[in-house]
A and B are shown apart, each in its own frame.
Chain A
């Protein structure tokens, strides 16, 4: 088996999606038009960013039926499949921050700065603030500063000075805070963490196979969700898990794998109310 199977798959998915958008703009392909804020798939099916639509709602805009349906489709998809699949399989910023994280590991920064100085709950504050500011300023507040949008819009329509914002995030993640943007600040990630709280696709840890090498924790962008490694056999149930499968492919002992969440069994055990 190829060691980086999922990593390659993720890059293929991320880049193909971006390519379809770019092709729609340059050659007029009709597969996926628009961008990650709102797209039309095959000239029929609307797809919208539910977080952007939520901000629009808070800003007091009239929500057109098209984007409402689009947002609902995306919302249901991620609620079922696994919340932050967007982050690791679609979002182009993921490529930038993964590169930062890769360099951090290679250059040994993680050894120097073991304890991370910032809390991962910042993103929920940012999420709340974005909705509050949308309400007060009467415009979708995060959409006006979102470096994610700057990047993916930049790739499709021309980036302007947007590269500077991307560079800031790259350097921030590399030198200041491990997984700083995706793991601590990004409100879109926070939003999908909440959406995917009860989703079905889950990573499962098998304690009997674990040899405590801790490679999974080293590579995981949200290492707090892997608290059970080496302690107990259970599924990763935190919505903050991005389902990127880095832990799955890095594990030499086959202790981590994808699984489908077993809702019925958990209900019996009283883990879900």
Chain B
């Protein structure tokens, strides 16, 4: 058998094709992995962090915020933590954020992934502006909802009376006791997690979730009629009505129209 000589040109094309195939394979595996880790939704970030998408772009994973935190709240995600590798996060049930007034973790960030303007009001740092997450109460497993007196989370909250309030209601079962139910106000809750840390149940019945996960969103077509500021949105509104064949008639006519129903 005669062995065919492979020309340089043919070898070049072959090698290019192989390199391209290998590169595509590598890139697919690589991007699948990156996509997987960056998709983990339940990561709590330090105060003043940018939106997750921008945060992942901007964070350079230097750990300055971790070093600055006096309570060792923050850690950088390690392999095995199932979080985007190297990015800072905290687990409130272990160590919550103690909401230092001088917020040491934020100004040290070299990339502005922790954006100091998000916690600055009138040129002064204000940790109460932080939006790390929001506390959520599992009312089925919160013993205060059972009628047992517990206000551990309420007492632990650094902005108690605002971020968490106690709602009194009559205990109909006994007829002479009150339920003292903790209620979270998501406008003021910073998601520090001190409540989650303080919760007395085996697995915390109040816990912090990222705001995008825990909160719903109302479209802008609903107006709070009792809210003057919200009602202002109606001032310059123009509306448009769609006219179709059916809408020429009144709704009542349509209801009374028995034609076709009794013909059977």
Contact = CB atoms under 8 A, between A and B. Distances in A.
B84 A34 contact: no
B248 interface: no
A62 to B, nearest CB: 7
Given A129-B23, A159-B78, A66 B34 contact: no
Contacts, number: 135
Contacts of B81: 160
Contacts of A154: 78
B53 interface: yes
Contact of A137 (B35, B75, B111): B35
Contacts of A165: 79
A94 interface: no
Interface in A113-151: 125-126, 129, 132-133, 136-141, 143-145, 149-150
B163 to A, nearest CB: 31
Contacts of B19: 125
A133 B61 contact: no
A118 B148 CA distance: 69
A139 B110 contact: no
A138 B33 contact: no
A1 interface: no
Nearest to A133: B31
Contacts of B57: 56, 59-61, 138-140
A61 B37 CA distance: 19
Interface in B68-125: 75-76, 78-81, 84-86, 110-112
A132 B38 contact: no
Interface in A57-71: 59-64, 66-67, 70
Interface residues on B, range: 35 or more
Interface stretch (A36-44, A203-211, A239-247): A36-44
B112 A62 contact: yes
B63 A40 contact: no
Nearest to B54: A61
A48 B33 contact: no
Contact of A67 (B31, B54, B79, B111): B111
B112 A38 contact: no
A48 B110 contact: yes
B79 A37 contact: no
A52 B60 contact: yes
Contacts of A162: 78-80
A104 B53 CA distance: 44
A133 B78 contact: no
Interface string A23-50: 0110010000111011110000010110
B23 A125 contact: yes
A164 B79 contact: yes
Contact of B86 (A28, A49, A66, A149): A149
A202 interface: no
6 contacts: A24-B67, A38-B110, A49-B60, A125-B23, A137-B35, A160-B79
Given A38-B110, A56-B58, A149-B85, 10 more contacts: A64-B110, A67-B60, A70-B110, A143-B60, A143-B61, A144-B86, A153-B61, A157-B63, A157-B76, A162-B78
Interface of B: 19, 22-23, 26-27, 30-31, 33-35, 37-38, 53-54, 56-58, 60-64, 66-67, 75-76, 78-81, 84-86, 110-112
- Give the 3 A-B CB pairs with smallest separation, nearest first: A160-B78, A161-B80, A38-B62
Interface of A: 24-25, 28, 33-35, 37-40, 46, 48-49, 52-53, 56, 59-64, 66-67, 70, 125-126, 129, 132-133, 136-141, 143-145, 149-150, 153-154, 156-162, 164-165
